[in-house]
Amino acid sequence: MIICALSDLHGYLPKDIPKCEVVCIAGDIVPLDIQNDIAKSFIWFGHDFLPWCESLPCEKVLLVAGNHDFFLEVFSNTHQAGKSYKFGDNSKVIYLCNSTYKFNHMKFYGTPNVTDLSGWAFNVEFPESKEVFGRIPDCDVLITHTPPFDANNTGNVFASPTKPDYGSWELRDAISERKIKYIFCGHVHTGNHKLSDWEGHYIANVSIKKEDYSPAFEPLLINTNENREDRM
């Protein structure tokens, strides 16, 4: 399967997404200037984001929210937990909120939750964080907004082991007990963007913006049949 993964759009909708079967988006989609306005965020989602998703050269778009996506937290709080929701004219967009979606014999799981970010969307604290991440099943692809702690510098600013790591300990613990082949995360804009082998899992930070929120990184493109990474 050919998968394209990206994260931390913050309102930026790239026009050059390559042809693939599945696009995975790991959160923080809404523009910064409207993230606190729930009504405007929903309007942008329907008027701009969903049509962009429909235009992408893929069969499915799998979406996970992030800590900036307050409007999706409102949606999630008013809908059944642990369920996947379909958006768009042809149900092309699948919203994952601690839920699973199977496509072409591959199992995807998405979680939006972050830790130690009081006041932000989808924040959970211990022991709730352990319970939330403990629901993650064995899967082929895990889409998570936050990186796991100490995972090949995916959660380190500027991908440096000497900088603070903003990954989640509880997520790391949950992953260590699961069979998961690919992990796509974001949240830390300058984390390690190279697909790498981490304790038996392939992991990459797929955020596309720098710390100043300007576009900087290309989406990740992989062929799971060949386990090959391409940067556009």
Query: Global pTM?
Result: 0.94
Q: Is the predicted pLDDT of residue 224 greater than 80, yes or no?
A: yes
Domain encompassing residue 16: 2-231
What digits encode the pLDDT tens for the residues 37-53? 999 999 999 999 999 99
Alpha-carbon span 115 to 171, nearest angstrom: 9
How many C-alpha atoms does 104 have within 13 Å on its Cβ side? 11
CATH of the domain at 156: 3.60.21.10
Question: Using 50, 70 and 90 to split pLDDT, how confident is the model at 232?
Answer: very low
Distance of CA 133 to the CA centre of its chain: 14
Task: Note the pLDDT of residue 89.
Answer: 66
Full DSSP string of 152-215 = TTTTBGGG-TTSPB--BHHHHHHHHTS-EEEEEE-SSTTS--S-EEETTEEEEE-B-B-TTS-B
What digits encode the pLDDT tens for the residues 66-80? 999 999 999 998 877
Domain count, the chain: 1
Dihedral in degrees, nearest 10, Cα atoms 31, 195, 62, 140 = -150
Task: Note the pLDDT of residue 85.
Answer: 86
What digits encode the pLDDT tens for the residues 71-129? 999 999 887 767 788 886 678 999 999 999 999 999 999 999 999 999 999 999 999 99
